[in-house]
Structures are given as structure tokens and as C-alpha cells.
Amino acid sequence: MAAAAASSRRMMRLPRGASLILGRPFPSPPAFSSAWKEGDDQLGRMDQRDTWDRFYAAKLEGSGPPGHFDWFFGYREVSDLLHAVLRGLPSGRADVLDVGCGTSSLGLSLYRESPRQLHVCCLDFSPLALEAVGRLLRQSPPPCHPLSELRCRLADATDLASSFERASFHLVLDKGTCDAVLRCPQGPDRARRFMAGCVRVLKPGGSLIQFSDEDPDARVPFLEQAGAANVTVKEIGPKGGISYYAYTIGQKT
């Protein structure tokens, strides 16, 4: 999950069996607990890269694959929705951005299981998160479509204009990134900037799908104030007694 600026930005394909290299050594911050409790002061610092570097450093300890860390839920709970959206796109390659990916199962599983050709970009500002994605990819079977690709981008999720041209993606996925930004100081302003960037990179006819546990009565007005258009809501769950929602957002016409 990502929101603050990274000092280096490079796009690299992650071939099976290859190491993830981002052009500079990975930092080695001290490890800390792999989960937070309500009231933990880290919850107010989820827009800071060092918070996530410490989080993923703990998960990278050891020689085995780090495993996925999924906020809210994993890929299986929304796979039907995602594939339905992909089927509604024009034929040919579909470009997908998983913004603030962390080590979520969303982007990697979609890349692996989609029968249509995908170019998936997993974006995060934590190099340690992307190192973990590289390990997960090396353990993954090949994609269903032989021409599908997955790349990682070390970049700031609230400054997508510095990384991508307008109309770069058919589908943008946000699972918890906007929620993390909203929890932090200056959260609403930064979250609106994040939203504007996501809508900016959508191709004509493309969609942003935002997954959240926030009730539509609160989230839809925020999205509309942030410039979102054609917002539709689908309830997912409840899971563990909590209702989650998929907010699908298009471009203003």
C-alpha cells in the first residue's frame, strides 16, 4: 500500500527466475510487528514509506516466499467482478494498474489467471514491498495468456502524473490505498489528489475500481467531490462481520 514519494522511479519487467532490481540497494530498516491494532500510532503514518518498509522487512525475513498481505480480502472474493470488467473491454491487450499494490494477491493473481492478454503494473513506493512481489512472482506458475506481462513500478501513488501519461490504463485497482491516505494528516486533500491521478490515467471507457470498508453514504460523496463520475457500488461480503464495497468509477464525459 503506498502513498508518499519515492526518490527513484523505474519500470522493470519481473521475469520468472530473475531478481527484482530497482537501481539502488534496498534499505534494511528494523523489523516490527506484521499487523497493527486499532490505536497503534502507525495507523496515522500509513502514508509514510518508512512505515511500510519496516512492515515488509519483517515479512521478508527468511528464505521462503513472503506470502500475500491482503487488506480487507483477497483476489478470490472479487475475481468474478474483475473478470467481468475485463470481458467488457475492447478486444486486445488490457492494461491494468494495481496502485499501492503492497503484496496483495490482486494484481499477481489477475495476471496469472486472466485468459486475455494483460499488461499489469504493480505500483508501490516501498522497495521492500516490490522485492516481496518479485519473490512471489518467481514462485508463481506462468500466466494463462502466454503474452501477459507483469511489471513493478517504484513510485508515489499520489503523484501518478510523474509516472504515467494520460489514458494509460483500461483498469485501475485500488484496494485500501485511498483508505490508508485518508487516515493520515492532510488525508482528504492527498486522497483527492490520489483520486484525480487515478482518473487521469484511465483510457476512454476505462474504470477505476476502489475497494473499501467505508459505507457508501460517506464514500460516494467524497468520490464525487474528488472528481469521480458515474460511481456505482457493489457490496462484497460481509466478511468477518464487516461489509466491504466495490466502487466503480469512470471518467467525466
| pLDDT tens-digit series, residues 72-83 | 999 999 999 999
Q: Please give the pLDDT value at position 63.
A: 62
Specify the CATH number for the domain of residue 224: 3.40.50.150
Residue 189 domain flag = yes
Mean pLDDT of the 238-248 span: 90
Predicted pLDDT of residue 53? 76
Average the pLDDT over 127-151 and give the result.
93
- Rg of the Cα trace of the chain? 17
Q: In this model, does residue 246 exceed pLDDT 90?
A: yes
Residue 159 pLDDT greater than 70, yes or no: yes
Give me 129's grid cell.
514491498
Per-residue pLDDT at 39 exceeds 50: no
For residue 6, pLDDT over 60 is answered with no
Identify whether the C-beta of residue 102 lies closer than 8 Å to the C-beta of residue 52.
Answer: yes
Give the residue with greater pLDDT, 66 vs 3: 66
Q: Which residues contact 99 (CB under 8 A, 6 or more apart)?
A: 2, 123, 157, 160, 172, 173, 174, 177, 198
In this prediction, residue 7 carries a pLDDT of 33
Q: Which three three-digit cell numbers place residue 68? A: 500475500
pLDDT of residue 47: 66
Domain annotation covers residue 4: no
- Specify if 22 maps to a domain: no
Residue 1 placed within a domain: no
Cell match 540497494: residue? 25
pLDDT value, residue 237: 79
82 in Cβ contact with 60 (< 8 Å): no
Identify the domain containing residue 181 by its residue range.
Answer: 65-250
Residue 112 lies in a domain: yes
178-218 residue pLDDT tens:
998 988 777 889 899 999 999 999 999 999 999 999 999 99
Does residue 121 belong to any structural domain of this protein?
A: yes
pLDDT of residue 8 exceeding 70, the answer is no
Compare 3 and 121 and report the one with higher pLDDT.
121
In Å, how far from its chain's centre is CA 162? 17
Query: How confident is the model at residue 187, as a pLDDT?
Result: 80
Residue 64, pLDDT above cutoff 60:
yes
User: Do the beta carbons of residue 24 and residue 8 sit within 8 Å?
Assistant: yes
User: What are 197's three cell numbers?
Assistant: 491521478
Write down the residue that cell numbers 512471489 correspond to: 136
What are the DSSP calls for the chain, one per residue? ---S--S---EEE--TT-----SSPPP-PPP--SS--TT-GGGGGTT-HHHHHHHHHHHH-SSS------SS--SGGGHHHHHHHHHTSPSS-EEEEEET-TT-HHHHHHHHH-SS-EEEEEEES-HHHHHHHHHHHHTSPPPSSTT-EEEEEE--TT-GGGT--SS-EEEEEEESHHHHHHTSTTHHHHHHHHHHHHHHTEEEEEEEEEEESS-HHHHHHHHHHTT-EEEEEEEEEEETTEEEEEEEEE---
- Residue 25's pLDDT is 27
Closest listed residue to residue 129, CA positions, set 77, 58, 47, 184: 58
Predicted pLDDT of residue 46: 65
Q: What percent of the chain has pLDDT over 90?
A: 57
Asked if the structure places residue 43 within a domain, the reply is no
Residue 67, pLDDT score: 81
Residue pLDDT, tens place only, 95-127:
999 999 999 999 999 999 999 999 999 999 999
- For residues 41-57, give the mean pLDDT: 69
Distance between alpha carbon 80 and the CA centroid of its chain, in Å? Answer: 18
The number of domains in the chain is 1
Average pLDDT, the chain: 81
Structural domain includes residue 81: yes
